[in-house]
Structure 1
Amino acid sequence: MIKVGIMGVGTVGTSVAQILKDNAEIISARAGVDISVKSGVVKNLNKDRGLDISLSDNVDDILNDEEIDIVVELMGGVDEPFEVVKRALKNGKAVVTANKALLAYHRYELQEIAGTIAFEYEASVAGGIPIINALRDGLSANHIESIMGIMNGTCNYMMTKMTEEGVAYDAILKEAQELGYAEADPTFDVGGYDAAHKLLILASIAYGLDAKPEDILIEGIENVSQDDITFAKEFGYAIKLLGIAKKDANEVELRVHACLISKDEMIAKIDGVMNGISVVGDKVGETLYYGPGAGGDATASAVVANIIDIARSGKSTPMLGFDKPMEGKLTLKATDDINSKYYLRINVSDRAGVLAKITKVFEDNNISVETMLQRPSSTNSANLLISTHIALEKDIQNMIKEIEELEFVNSTPVMIRIV
């Protein structure tokens, strides 16, 4: 009998306990041993969770319980879970977590502490999609050329509604909050940080990179408007918040931001709250993983799958996919050195000579214009909608600063990268 303790019996934790109970027979057959939840830790003991397990508000009741074999960490946050997981591992208990923020900051420390003790985290990226095992095991014979994906269902839901129904950003954000897709403070989702944490985890498995959120380019969808969506539609693009990892010689670029992506790409066709991740291997080519990226049952499904894996083997495969450091270690590409095409929306006073001065700034910064449209914004102003040929990130950023200082430019230009 394998006994489990759950740290954080909220939506996902309750679902984990329920799945282990409801599907006990098939889980036992697949694991080769019976598995049950012995106890859980919660913040509020007065809340009824409808479970017949022992509940406590003290983590020691699980960490010091010699009968508990596997600790499932679903607390959220970084600092407290880090201490709890460290103690669990040092007490010889296997760990399963869905905590992407914890892993974004402490995955290499935890790998060292875990050693051969099982530590699994499939549910930390893309909910019920088995992307961790696909990268770490199924594609282990490949050099990973790129990873590109929709890793946040809230942003994808919002961009889908804005595109299909013409809803303004503020209105759809409010709707997403009412539906429970976005928090009261939505910054973590719409600002790109949630997707960045997930991308960093995948990049460690694919490339052995120990980067932190502060080291990479992270932008959200807050500045996307209907003007941008109209431009995208006219030129055959969809706008998505994407996490992108791409190998270029011995460097890897990591970035999260809104993108214009061709409507013909499979990723562009993934709508609503669903997630989708494309992985390109040097031998297998492109593989695509699609499914629910959040939700109690979907996330719990991945957690329980990890519990079954541990019950089968009793020890961990290399947590981040490497038994030894990679030869010819890859490094993180500087943000300034990223190459891309770009789209810009520049709101200007509608008067003679403006366009010539704008194009001169482009020329001075070695940036070539591919397409340009002008759309009325108000009686006396217009939006210039411009796409570029491939340019350097540092050149685009310098150009934006120069354009913003022009006296006829009414606000900071909005820039979206084109994939």
Structure 2
Amino acid sequence: MSERVMSGSVDGLITLEAADALWADLTADSAVPTASGAFTCSPAHARMGYVLLGGHAVTTVSASGGQWSVLEVEVRRAAAALNSVGMDRRDLVRIGPFRGAPRLECDEETPLRWRQRIAGELQEPGGPGLAARRAAGRPYHLAGIDWRQMLVEQTRDRTQRTWWLPRAVVRLLDAAEHAETQWVQTTRTRQAGAAAAGAPAPRPYNEELRGQLYSVLSRKPGTARKVAGWACAVCRTAPAAVLDHCHEHGYVRAPLCQSCNTQERPDHLYSNDIRVANHYTRLFHTDTDDWLRHWHRCPGCRARTTLPLPHLAAWTAHIACRSLRPTHRAPRGRKPCGVLRVSWTGSQNTPRSCLITVAVDCCPSGEHRVLAQVSYREAAERFRVWLAETAPAVAAAAGPDRLDGLPAQLRPVIADTDGEGLALF
């Protein structure tokens, strides 16, 4: 390590300039390209009390003389986490542009919002080349990651440009945005506790928004403030931050915290093709009752005794086809082969032609095999049987004969254009 970095250390604290040099030095051989100036160049906000490095929020402190510093050990910890990330530059995720859609109010105190930042820069006249040549002080990194080195631009029909980043980078930036939100929420909680020890805790959600449409609520002023007053309807501990809704029927489910809202999403590939991540073990095993009850807060899903098509596809791959997944020898017995991937043709509106295909990607032996092809109607029937056995209370409240409190006419499937990669759920 350079003398300049080491000499800047006082009781484990180093200056922001030394932290910049340390970050660049530690991550020089990382698979994910990083940028110098992670602490001192926009959009880093050291004076706000933290700086994002990869998926971590590193706390900054004001030392003597008004100089801002950071703990060296935290920089090293964030660098080690980034260095452990593998990246396949061919495994790309589309990040824009997407058609606009109504959004809940943005929180200006969490400034990363990396998708909006990238879209804003790339849509400027001159594109990324001009943005990169702008004067110092313009944002050129996100969470210490030099995203421009990995951006892939594709053109369709010689007119429509689309932008893509490696999946590993998208995951890191999503983790950074989540870490920032958590940091801000924790800080607010501490400040509120210090200012008023008797401040009211978030109130439990008691189905106050049952049967309401997200398209209506999202346009009402003050909705975000109202949502923040509830506790998360799934974990029931963290303050709610978003209003989760069913993208097939348009009905509000419940307010959720950022963690729970992120947890239900799989690794998105395309609009009809997803990877079934390991977190589904919690959704369909240890926390099954909570999540099934939450999904069935949508009147349409509850009346049909099923799940939205992407959820049903993930359930089919993870549960219904579990016995079909091959295994390989491992140091401690056998481990499941590769990564589950599920796709579908058609939609729930045409159940006769809708077909769900479950496959295995990244098999150690190099095979990419199809495990099963299940029709939508068969998958829905298997789910109903499994639901009755696994969560009888949820199953008892579902079905076409349970019409109490349901709207007189279910809404048709709505197009949700809030980002094609995140519009499945």
- Is TM-score (shorter-chain normalized) higher than 0.5? no
TM-score normalised by the chain length of structure 1: 0.25
TM-score normalised by the chain length of structure 2: 0.25
Q: Which one has more relative contact order, counting CA pairs under 8 Å at least 6 apart?
A: 1
Higher strand share: 1
